[in-house]
Amino acid sequence: MSSIKFSPLIAGTMKWGEWGKKYNTEEMQTVINCCLENNISSFDHADIYGDYSTEAAFGKAFDEMKLDRQKVQFISKCGIQLLGGLRKNIIKHYDYSAAYIINSVDQSLKNLHTDYLDLFLLHRPSPLMRSDEIAEAINKLKHDGKILSFGLSNFSSSQTALISQKITVEYNQIEFSITHLDALQNGSFDYMQINNITPMCWSPLGIVFTKKNEQTAAIIKMVSKLSEKYNAAADVILLAWILRHPANILPVFGTADTARINSLMKATTIQMDLIDWFALWEAGMGEEVA
């Protein structure tokens, strides 16, 4: 298991740049400072964010702040080849050749103005990936000090087992929320606990606040009751629900709104009662617990 100490909530940067807020350098620095003031020291990136531009924009902002690199943790990913202005791909695809993985890490290090990544992830599984070739690249990157730990993103348990034949997998970042419950039901969290893999989850609030349907209405009704009970905002309650799970999940939140970031860490102080956890699970499933 990795010895890297990530913050219990991780700041996802996908929407900071061209794919969302389009923050300039000063605005990014404001969000970085807000995170650090709230003891959120881990930042999640991917090479593709902002059509391959957000990493560099963040790196410029961070570099100018002259902060202590050892007090923050940088996560990045590679593997997805997008159609976009910065690459001449003719079709979206995945590339996990050893040369591509190594070159991608080198580019991320350059973008982020750093000598190492605390965690490097393969972004999505490819049907053509070879575990021995992936292991070759990861072992070299670790030997050279360019990455400190290795993991996967959006990999199933069987895909994780395939990679684990050749190289130790320490993390898997998957989609999980009260509206996306697959990992509770398909054995993903069980597998990770058995194999000492730390789960991270993206989109931890799901579609609760972005889509109106019978499911989200039931969840919001229950969250409203719990918000009053625990004296916490709705998004904090949903994060506390995730943190209650014994797999020690690390949620990667997507908001770049400093007002919301200021309150999120309260989730780490809430020990949700057992009956409240199941009440939310029942609302998310849309049926009674079996």
Structure-block tokens of residue 64? 């100018």
Whats the size of the chain, residue-wise? 290
**Which residue has 């700041």 as its token pair?**
11
Write down the catalytic residue from 23, 49, 96, 191.
Answer: 49
Residues paired with 137 in a beta bridge: none
Q: What is the DSSP string of 77-129?
A: EE-EE--BTTB--SS-EE---HHHHHHHHHHHHHHHT-S-BSEEEE-S--TT-
Single-letter amino acid, residue 123: H
3-class DSSP state of 234: helix
Q: What are 41's two structure tokens?
A: 């020291």
Evaluated on CA atoms 90, 254, 204, 169, the torsion sign reads positive
- The strand pairing partners of 202, in sequence order, are 175, 252
Element (H, E) at 193: helix 188-194
Q: What is the DSSP letter of 72?
A: S
Among this protein's residues, is 49 annotated catalytic? yes
* Dist. CA 270–CA 244, nearest whole Å: 9
Residue 188's CB is within 10 A of a number of other CB atoms, namely 21
DSSP secondary structure letter of residue 167: S
Residue 246, both tokens? 């014994």
Phi, psi of 268 (to 5 degrees): -75, -10
Show which residues are catalytic: 49
